Amino acid sequence: MMKTKPIVGIITNQASGFNGRQLLHAVGRRYVESVLHFSDVIPTLIPTCLGKSDLENYLAAIDGVVLTGGRANIEPHHFGGNKFPDDEHIDPDRDRTALGLIDACVKREMPIFGICRGIQEINVAYGGTLFYRVHQVTGKHDHRMPTDEDVPVEEIFKPRQVINFTEKSLFKNLIKQDSFLVNTLHGQGIDRLGQGLTVEAYAQDGLIEAISIAGYPTFGVGIQWHAEFHPEKDENYLNKVLFQKFGESCWAYRAKK
């Protein structure tokens, strides 16, 4: 008998279509395709309009969660930060749903993979804080993407920043290297690490670039870079490995369930 593939939920962001006349639940296609092809699971999209009881019912039907990147930053009232400027782009439904998802997933010991904004959500869910603008912090580099309209997407997302793995990092164990070149692109970043989390990698300026949930019995990882962008390329093989390991954990979770 053929085994049924695990089903994975990929969180969406609020976006607009039809020249701003209609709101959408949206997620980048690359996240969906990376999970489909490299994790060997069936991807589904998580709408951020779900209430708590509906979210619980949804989680009962899936086997893993991917927390994607997004344009909006997490609102500071979730971690005791300073109020955003009035023109800051926000997505309150994404904030609420993501933080609730993490709590519910951890209680179930369900696989979690946080990418870009996703690592920040995991940190906040565990009581950590965020820098509002990393490039304005003394000693930190500018981690933001190029803003020129004529810069090709391939140029924007190409690997350009070295991250260094911690001594006992699971990444170091996976690929037998001390460092890796990644395409980290973000404005916010981790300030104070949440209690119960472990640092897996740092940027060269000391900013946290990867974390894991300490003692978690399955895959519970957050990364600040965009692993969904060309994981099939040899230069990005760590990203392919991460999607594969996430998928293996989803298969194990489904088998146990």
- Other beta carbons within 10 angstroms of residue 179's beta carbon come to 14
Q: Is 49 a catalytic residue?
A: no
The runs of H, that is alpha helices, within 109-197 are 117-125, 153-156, 170-175
Instruction: Tell me how far apart the alpha carbons of residues 211 and 63 are, in angstroms, rounded to a whole number.
Output: 21
Q: Chain-centre distance of CA 219, in angstroms?
A: 13
Catalytic residue among 105, 116, 230, 250: 116
Report H helices in 5-116: 29-38, 52-59, 92-108
Q: Are strands 130-131 and 189-190 parallel, antiparallel or unpaired?
A: antiparallel
β-bridge mates for residue 183, sequence order: none
Task: Given the residues 75, 121, 209, 228, select the one marked as catalytic.
Answer: 228
| Candidate list 143, 186, 226, 230, residue with the active-site label | 226
Can 250 be counted among the known catalytic residues? no
Cite the active site residues.
116, 226, 228
